[in-house]
Structure 1
């Protein structure tokens, strides 16, 4: 089960106030705070099962479809990097219970008609971007979606996207060796993933004219894209058809608090 960003923050505050902060050692568990409530086993290992039960009580109605956000982008495009780091990832951190994110790294790349070349793709920002796109495609394929988004955010927010890839993978998915990503990038799997991303991008209707290109529930409108670029958070809250979560309404969430 997923933990929404705003509730993750509340959980951190609560656990710090209830004995996991300065007064006692950090919980001895292998998972980052965003994963503490993913399963009962993890919650028990991290000693936050009570807090997770309280936080889960505020979840939106799971029967209502989430807002599906698909981003078609390029790994080294400055505007794409800005959208991922300043709009998409922060919004998803706060609203991941009511939104689903799909990342399609390809953008304005071109596929050579012949695949006899060692580099069948050309990218708007050169060969490094082609490699960055493929690394991120492989990470999306080899790791769980939530972890993959954390890894890609880590890369895109770094000074050097490509150089950060290995350390970002180790930070968020230590069980996945870099050798698997490297084999994917250098082998046929990476090219298959990029061809699939090329087909998805080419199938867009209307056809994309720039990146970042953002669709909501499978549809693109210039109006929604303009709103997303200025305040994706408000747009997702508006598009969600169910009862708005506390993050959207600003309603306080009361938790059982204690102090030391």
Structure 2
């Protein structure tokens, strides 16, 4: 009987080669696409209820500032986004009473130049500076209070809750608000200080315009010069008349 090679040894040598050829011919899986730049407009549009806030972010150029900062620097940011209902619930005429500069300040009052998680906001030191500033460069601030995993934020004139984290990954956090954080500087202007008070009016001679007893004319000087002349003339005429009558007699 002819000698036969054992088949199992031949198969064991072919199978590994088959797997190697199969893996070499199979296409490699595509690498995941790199994440694109952060876009505050795209983040809010995806939620579908921030059209008014998006409009103001666009018109004021604040949205572009946010995108540039979070994409081109190491400094994070936090945006408090009022919903469309929040703007609709503003008192009638509130936005129309604001000038262009105040509208920019209003939007910047919802932007914090630092990244805060929800837990951070419960223990943050108040007031928290926003991007908004006053005429003299003084910053507008917000106050945060946390209790039982709930965070309230106050602008001084408006208090509301922070509900939903629209985005919570650094470098940008975006939280939903149901009220617009109108700055207290718009509703409660500070009384002018003594330095801002107008100086008393000056009289022509350089003294204060306030009258004093020294400025009042004395009774003796109240008589007009012409009246004094007439009185003196009358007295002189009377004396002359008396003298003439005595001479004739």
Q: TM-score, normalised by structure 1?
A: 0.20
Say which structure, 1 or 2, has more relative contact order (CA 8 Å, 6+ apart).
1
Higher Cα Rg, which structure:
2
- Select the structure that is richer in helix: 1
